[in-house]
A and B are shown apart, each in its own frame.
Chain A
Amino acid sequence: MPDMTQKCLRRTLLVGLCITGILSLDCNLLNVHLRRVTWHNLRLLSSMSNSFPVECLRENQAFELPQEILSHTQSLKRDLKEAFYEMSIQVFNIFSRYIFESTWKQKHMKEIQIGLHQQVEYLKQCLEEEENENEDMKKMKEDEMKHPGARVPQVSILELWRYFNRIVNFLKEKKYSHCAWEIVQVEIRRCLYYLHKFTALPRRK
C-alpha cells in the first residue's frame, strides 16, 4: 500500500507538472459552472463515505488512470475536453447502472446522479460551443482523420474505456461488495479531482 501511494504521488506530481504546461478548458462562463459542479460532486462523494475502512485496504487495486491522455502534449484542447466528457459520462454510468439501493441511500443516489449529470451537460455544452466556433477546425480535423497519423483522439477514448472496464470488472468480480464500492469511490474521486484541476487553469486561447 505504501508503494502504491508513492506511485500514486509520483504520478500525480508528474501529471501536475505536465498540466501546468498545457491547456485548460476554455468556455469561460460554462467553465465557471463546470468547476462549481465538479467541486460539489467531489464533496458529495467524500461526504458519502466516512474514513476508508481498514479492512478494505487488502482488496485495493491499481486501476491505472491513463496518464498518457492527461499529459499528452500533442493532444488538442478539444481532445482533452472530449476525454473529460467521456470520463464524466462513464462516471455517471457507473453511478446509475451498477449502483444498488442497498449500497447507498436513495437520497444520496439521486443527489450524486443529478450532480454528475449536470457535469456531463456542462461539458457537452462546452464542446458544442467550441464546435460552433471552430467549424473550420472541425473540417481540418476530419481531413486529418483520413491520414493514419492522426488517430490520437480515437486511441485516447479507447484507453479511457479500458480504464473504466477495469473498474467495472472489478466491481463485478467482487460482487459489488461494500469494500469494492469504497475502492471504486476513491478512484472516481481521483478522476473528478483531475477534472477540477483542469477547470481551474487560467484560460488560454
Chain B
Amino acid sequence: TMLSLLGAIALVLVAGTPRVLPSAAGGKNLNSSRNVEINIIDDNFILRWNRNSESMGNMTYSADYQRPGMDNWIKLPGCQYITSTKCSFSSPKLDIYEEIKLRLRAEQGNTSWYEVISFMPFEKAQIGPPDVQLEAEDKAIRVNISPPGTKDSIMWALAGPSFIYSIVIWENSSSIEKMIETDYLRDKIDKLSPETTYCLKVKARLRTPRKVGIYSPVYCINTTAENKLPPPENLEVDVKNQSYVLKWDYAYANVTFQVQWLPAYVRKNPGKHSRNWKQMLDCENVETTQCVFAQNVLPEGVYYVRVQASDGNNTSLWSKEKKFNSDIQTIVLPPVINMKSISDSLRIYIGSPKEAGNKPVNQPYPLSYEIIFWKNASNAERKFLEKKTDFTVPNLQPLTVYCAKARAHLVDGKWNKSSVFSDTVCEKTKPGNTSKSWLIAGICTALFAVLVVIYAVKVLWKGINYVFFPSLKPSSSIDKYVSEQPLKNLLLSTSEEQTEKYFIIENVNTITPVEETDQIDEDHKKYSSQTSEDSGNYSNEDENSGSKTSEELLEQEMV
C-alpha cells in the first residue's frame, strides 16, 4: 500500500509535469532531481543520471518508456535492474517525431522513486560521425562518404537525403584549413598539388531543423604523381539542330577522346543502384574537342557527362563532370506579326507562333519581343523592345509603305534564348490629313445646320402667321389648308384610315361652301377642332399601330 501510494503520488506529479525543454531534463519527484539526461547519437540512446548521495547500499535502476496516447509503460531492454548510473539502448520501436516519456525507477529495498522525462527523440538526436573512404588522383582526391548511422537507420531515414557534408581539408605540412561543402555522398576535391599528403575530416549537418554533427576521425592520403596527360577542361553542352553538342578544351594535339554519361538522380540515390558511368557511343575516340550526339540518346532528365583524353599509350584522368538539363533544348519559336493601318499610325499585333497547319503553339514562357520597323526601300531601321503584344507606331507619313519583323526573347535568370525573325509584313498607311477631313466634315455639318434652322424658322413663321393673322380670303386659305393637310397626311402616313379621314374633311368643306365669314370662321374652328381630333386620333392610332408592330416584333423574336 505504501508503494502504491507513492506510485499514485508520482503519477499525479508526472501528470502535472510540464513538457521539458530540449536542454533541461527531469520533472518533480519526492527526492531532489537526479539530473536524468538522455543523449542520442544516431540510433543509440544513452540514459544517464546521478546517484542519490543520501542513499546507502544497493540501488537498482530500471527504465521504461511510454508512447504518446498509451497508458502502459514498456520495459527498455538492457536497462532493467542495473546498478550503474547509465544505460544505453538502440531506438525502440517508436515514432521518433513524437514525444515519448522515459521513466527511471530506482529501488532500494522497500523504497523507490520515479523520475520521468519527456522528449522528442528526433529533436534530441545528434548526428554521428560519417564514415569516409578516399581515393587519390594526381591533383584531386575522391571522397566516398557513408552517411551517419547504419544503413537501416530510423533516425535519419527521412532527414538523410538533406544532409550537407562539410569537409575540412589541409595539407599535412601546413595548418591552413579549407572547408568544402557538398550534398553528394561521392565527390571530388580538386585543384590540389600532386605528391602531397592531405588530411581531412568530415561532418554532416542539417539545415532545418538546425543540427550539426560530430566530425569523423581524421584521414590522410597522398596524391599521386602528376599524370602525363591532363584531363579535358571547360566542358560545355549546347543544342544545335535537334542535337546536343558537347565541347571542351584541351591543350595538346594528337589525342582521342571518349565521353561517358550518367543520369543525375543516381548520384542522389543512396545505395543499391549502380553508379556506373555509361559510354557515349557517338563520341567514342573522337579527335576533335567536340562531340555531337542525338537528343534521343539522353531523353528528358538531368545528366552528367565527363571526357577523357588518350594518346594511345596514356590516358588522362576524367574531366570534371558537367551537369546539364535536357530542357536546354527548349527552343523559342518566332512569333507571327500583323500590321493594321489606322489613320496616320500602324498598329502592330504579335501573335503566338504557328506550327505547320496553322496550329497555334502554346509557349508559356515569359517572353519579350524585339520588333524591327522600317520604311520600305529605306535603310533607316527602328527597333522596339516590347512585352506587350499589341502596340501602335504613331506619327507616320500617309500613303507610305512600312515593313516590320519581330523575334521573341526569353531571358530569365541564367537563360538567354532568342527565336529567329518572323516573316516580314508590310502595310501602307492611310491617306490624307485627318485635320483637313475633319474641317470639311465640320463645314458640311455647319451648312446643314444652317439649312435646318432656316427651314424651322420658315415653318414657325407660317405657324405664327396662321395663328395670329388669319387670312380673309377663305377660299384661298381653305384651299391652301385643304391642299396642305391631305398632302401632309399623305406624307406622314399611308394607312387606309387616313385616306378615309381625308374624304370626311373634303365633305365638310363642300357642304358649307357659301357662308359668311363668321360662320366660316366657326367652321374653321370646328374643322380645326375636328381635324385636331382626327389628328389626335391619327396620332393615337399611329402610336397604337406602332406599338402593335413593336409587340409583334417582340413576339417574333421570342419565337
Contacts and interface: CB of A to CB of B under 8 A. Distances in A.
Given A117-B301, A129-B413, A161 B158 contact: yes
Contacts of A89: 161-162
Given A29-B366, A29-B413, A29-B415, A114 B301 contact: yes
A156 to B, nearest CB: 9
Interface string B390-418: 00000000000000000000101101000
Interface residues of B, number: 33
Contacts, number: 87
B270 A96 contact: yes
- Tell me the interface secondary structure of chain B in the complex: loop
Nearest to B159: A161
Interface of B: 95-98, 122, 157-159, 161-162, 208-210, 263-265, 268-271, 273, 300-302, 325, 327, 364-366, 410, 412-413, 415
Interface in A133-166: 153-154, 157-158, 161-162, 164-165
How big is the A interface, by class? Answer: 35 or more
Interface string A114-129: 1111101100000001
Interface string A155-184: 001100110110011000000000000000
A48 B158 CA distance: 25
A90 interface: yes
A28 interface: yes
Given A93-B158, A164-B158, A32 B365 contact: yes
Given A29-B410, A89-B162, A116 B265 contact: yes
A180 B369 CA distance: 52
A27 B366 CA distance: 10
A141 B366 CA distance: 30
Contacts of A30: 412-413
A187 interface: no
B302 A121 contact: yes
- Tell me the interface secondary structure of chain A in the complex: helix
B208 A82 contact: yes
Nearest to B267: A117
Interface centre among B265, B273, B301, B365 (most CB of A within 10 A): B265
A93 B263 CA distance: 16
Contact of A161 (B97, B265, B268): B97
B269 A118 contact: no
Given A96-B268, A96-B270, 5 more contacts: A92-B265, A114-B265, A158-B122, A161-B158, A165-B96
Contacts of A93: 158, 161
Interface in A1-45: 27-30, 32-33, 35, 40
Interface centre among B98, B162, B210 (most CB of A within 10 A): B162
